[in-house]
Structure 1
């Protein structure tokens, strides 16, 4: 039976350990992202949706940099990500659900819930035994890629037509966001490095989704969410670099 490492300290001690040993780039990205979002908040009318957006985006950006933040644990071992993203992601979900509901992006609401149940909650549950060592990361085979792409395309078509029935404000991009994002969350749950390739594509889709919302003016949160999607694109690139399958010795 595999010997699973356990963190024996308190939860606060674990949080401290999770926030140390990061590479510098993720912290720099997070600081720049928060500063930009704060500028958007202060330079535009402040209301409940702008405040909810800022809070959700703050924790969401922190979550994504933690997911792909390379660094070292207390033993000096190289890790590819940090389990604290489970807590940070869970804190952002309520805000993102509220924002997408107000915008009429119903599939993005479901995308957030899929992320919560497949990634955030398991990390919250297994915080003592979770490990971000790169040796546990797998690559997807060519056959696996074919299945993943086929699943995304089928889901996109089905979700698009259901979205029209539900009066989704942007069924084309919103359906594609869930099709790709849900697949990426599943692959991340199974610890496949391919998840960052899909999240890169998903970020472009979300940029298109929120750009359309900004252009058509149907959501007060469109500008900060558009900026957030661009930030996610950068963190996905960093995560793809750090989340690589381990080479055989």
Structure 2
């Protein structure tokens, strides 16, 4: 079915098909590289699943990683819409992103990463929920304006992250977080990145790059200490997310200084 666009009372484009028709539209027009990246990531994760002992946590982690990789690739995938206009993102979060969040929450709870659970919930409420509510007009009007942070803005972001890290680390010790140093830093950076994405700042991908590096260390530590069976697939997933953050960094360019 063809995409039907009308102008509402505020003169914004609005998708008039159903949600699954919208998803189909968002899955078309991608550049080739994002699809190659997604296919490579899924193939690697499938190999990890099949070559190791299959348990309920490995299945849950695979499901979460599959949908998580799909959503993050889409968020940073450049391409073209049906009008032939260049776009910087194809949003398929919302329902599909919610599946990955549920799986990641279960995996992090089983690993004792309390702050990573909250990090996932921040992503869910700031990105997935908004998209579930605004998918008909996503990428139109103000939703398509990407801003950049000023030097003062960067200073505030860094201060907020450092203060949050300090507080969460000490609280994590009290709550017996399995890896309080890196888990606290993951939430401090990831939570701010999700907020900036919600506010349409290109800076979010710079922070997600750093956050992905932190998560690599977090899950590498989990693999070395052996306290989570999901540590290897989650480690591979964070490396994949690092690649998608690099891709998004190039595609999400400021269209307006904010």
TM-score normalised by the chain length of structure 1? 0.96
> Please, which of 127, 139, 158 is the counterpart of residue 119 of structure 1?
127
Counterpart Cα distance in 2 of 1:219 and 1:144: 37
Q: Which residue of 1 aligns with 2:160?
A: 151
Q: Which residue of 2 aligns with 1:44?
A: 52
1:5-16 → structure 2 map (5 Å cutoff): 5-16=13-24
Following TM superposition, by how much is the alpha carbon of 1:173 offset from its aligned partner in structure 2, in angstroms?
A: 0.1
Asked whether 1:207 is paired with 2:210, we answer: no
Contact map agreement 1:64 1:235 (CA 8 A) in 2: yes
Following TM superposition, by how much is the alpha carbon of 1:89 offset from its aligned partner in structure 2, in angstroms?
A: 1.5
Once the two structures are superposed, residues 70-126 of structure 1 have per-residue CA deviations (whole angstroms, 9 ceiling, x without a partner) of 111122121111221233211101100000000000000000000000000100111
Q: Which residue of 1 aligns with 2:68?
A: 60
1:27-42 → structure 2 map (5 Å cutoff): 27-42=35-50
Following TM superposition, by how much is the alpha carbon of 1:247 offset from its aligned partner in structure 2, in angstroms?
A: 6.7
Once the two structures are superposed, residues 18-75 of structure 1 have per-residue CA deviations (whole angstroms, 9 ceiling, x without a partner) of 1100111110000000000000001000010110010000000001001101111122
Q: Which residue of 2 aligns with 1:97?
A: 105
Aligned structure 1 segments of 4 or more residues deviating by more than 2 angstroms: 85-88, 132-135
Contact map agreement 1:136 1:246 (CA 8 A) in 2: yes
Counterpart Cα distance in 2 of 1:229 and 1:179: 17
Asked whether 1:21 is paired with 2:29, we answer: yes
Q: Please give the secondary structure, in 2, of the residue aligned with 1:9.
A: coil
Contact map agreement 1:118 1:186 (CA 8 A) in 2: yes
1:177-216 → structure 2 map (5 Å cutoff): 177-216=186-225
Q: Please give the secondary structure, in 2, of the residue aligned with 1:128.
A: helix
**Structure 1 segments unaligned to the other structure (5+ residues):** none
> Please, which of 140, 151, 156 is the counterpart of residue 142 of structure 1?
151
Contact map agreement 1:139 1:194 (CA 8 A) in 2: yes
Following TM superposition, by how much is the alpha carbon of 1:135 offset from its aligned partner in structure 2, in angstroms?
A: 5.4
Counterpart Cα distance in 1 of 2:189 and 2:96: 22
Q: Which residue of 2 aligns with 1:218?
A: 227
Q: Please give the secondary structure, in 2, of the residue aligned with 1:234.
A: helix
Once the two structures are superposed, residues 161-185 of structure 1 have per-residue CA deviations (whole angstroms, 9 ceiling, x without a partner) of 0000100000000000000000000
Q: Please give the secondary structure, in 2, of the residue aligned with 1:6.
A: strand
Contact map agreement 2:147 2:256 (CA 8 A) in 1: no
Following TM superposition, by how much is the alpha carbon of 1:2 offset from its aligned partner in structure 2, in angstroms?
A: 5.0
TM-score normalised by the chain length of structure 2? 0.93
CA 247–137 in structure 1, closer or farther in 2 if over 3 Å, else same? closer
Counterpart Cα distance in 2 of 1:62 and 1:35: 13
